[in-house]
Amino acid sequence: MLALKNGMGQVSSAYRQASRYVRKELSGNLKRYVPITIENRIIDRSYEMLGETQLLAATKNGLYLIRSDAVIRLLRGQFYGITRLASKWFVFERLSSTNGRIIEFRVTERGIGKAKQRRGDLDPGCHQIDMIHGGLLVADTYNNRLISYDPSSNKLDELSRSYPPGSLNEGRNSPNYAHLNSIWSDGIHTLAMFHNESTKTGRCSEIASLNDDFQVVKRISTTAGHAHNIMLYQDEFLYCDSKAGTLVHGDREVHRCHYLTRGLSVTPDRIFVGHSQYGKREDRESLKGGIAVLDGEFCDLGTIPLPGMVQEIRAVNTIDLGLSYYATKERLRRPLLNCPNCNLAFAESAVAS
């Protein structure tokens, strides 16, 4: 493609837009490998409220490393789910309207040293990912399913797939489409969030309790709309009521903002909640976001601005109970066979409506 320059010798905006279009179409329709764009560029400095904690944040315009002394854009692109296996990190990147991929990388003092594509044929609508029951579990949201991959295999060989809300006969227009976007386990409880596209369907979001085969045992109604993230914190549900711009603990609103809430990380002394401006889908790459920093009692310590809509947050150098690996270790240390405060009846074998 011939680069068209303006009178100042700069590449025209029309050319840049066309280049992005061609890149997306090639990566989507032909499944061509798209190079990973490592940036490691400092965009902001000094957020003492973090203390020693370092965060990874997946946004609509990049993957960021956030430290008390710097905010660093590690990778360019549209990212969502983040998880880890020992020192290896995995992130989902949406490449186009037809496909996405999983990237593996390591975090260093300077940012990212190396990154490689582990699997490039995922649906573009995948959301949260995590290590659960020995596999890299992916919320394949647009297909109403969970897919487990073998993290030890070179190409992330598929282990299993399941459809907790049922398979789809009419795509996202199917009456049972749940927009399953989040998955979490502490080794005893396995939970999923059914977003339910509340504005479109009129249905509030639901929390699903799953068995070891990722089938629904119980569906628990909430009053939330377009909810994201789900975990247990102090033996009660903790999740984002995204439509209301709140964080909910049990039946109590513990944080509110004027933005969409999405992305949640819980460390021993801090809780991090993602904020995002909301707009039309075609405008979302240019919208901004941030991360609210709360203490363990949900007191607001401040907000870290980011130049992108926040999709997910993970702590890098400390325990993050939003990750199933750490939640399982914590549950083993402090066993709980049931969760009376969050209405989970794990002995039930039938699905409750």
Residue 30 lies in a domain: no
Residue 342 falls in which region: left (phi positive, over 0), alpha (psi -120 to 50) or beta = alpha
Residue 351 lies in a domain: no
- CATH code assigned at 149: 2.120.10.30
Q: Is the CA virtual torsion 109, 113, 116, 122 positive or negative? A: positive
* Whole-number pLDDT of residue 11: 40
Residue 58 lies in a domain: yes
Q: Is the CA virtual torsion 128, 192, 286, 1 positive or negative? A: positive
pLDDT in tens, 197-238: 999 999 999 999 999 999 999 999 999 999 999 999 999 999
* Whole-number pLDDT of residue 333: 80
Residue 22 lies in a domain: no
* Whole-number pLDDT of residue 281: 65
Dihedrals φ, ψ of 278, to 5°? -125, 140
Domains of the chain: total: 1
Residue 116 lies in a domain: yes
Q: Is 353:94 a contact under the CB 8 Å cutoff?
A: no
Q: What is the β-pairing status of strands 88-94 and 78-85?
A: antiparallel
What is the value of pTM for the model shown? 0.87
Residue 260 lies in a domain: yes
Nearest-5° Cα angle at 313, 312 to 318: 155
Q: State the residue range of the domain holding 244.
A: 40-342
Residue 248 lies in a domain: yes
* Whole-number pLDDT of residue 224: 98
* Whole-number pLDDT of residue 3: 37
* Whole-number pLDDT of residue 110: 87
Residue 79 and residue 242: Cα distance in Å, rounded? 18
* Whole-number pLDDT of residue 278: 81
Residue 54 lies in a domain: yes
Q: Is 314:320 a contact under the CB 8 Å cutoff?
A: yes
Residue 165: CB atoms within 10 A of its CB come to: 20
* Ranges of residues in the chain whose predicted pLDDT is under 50: 1-30, 337, 340-341, 345-353
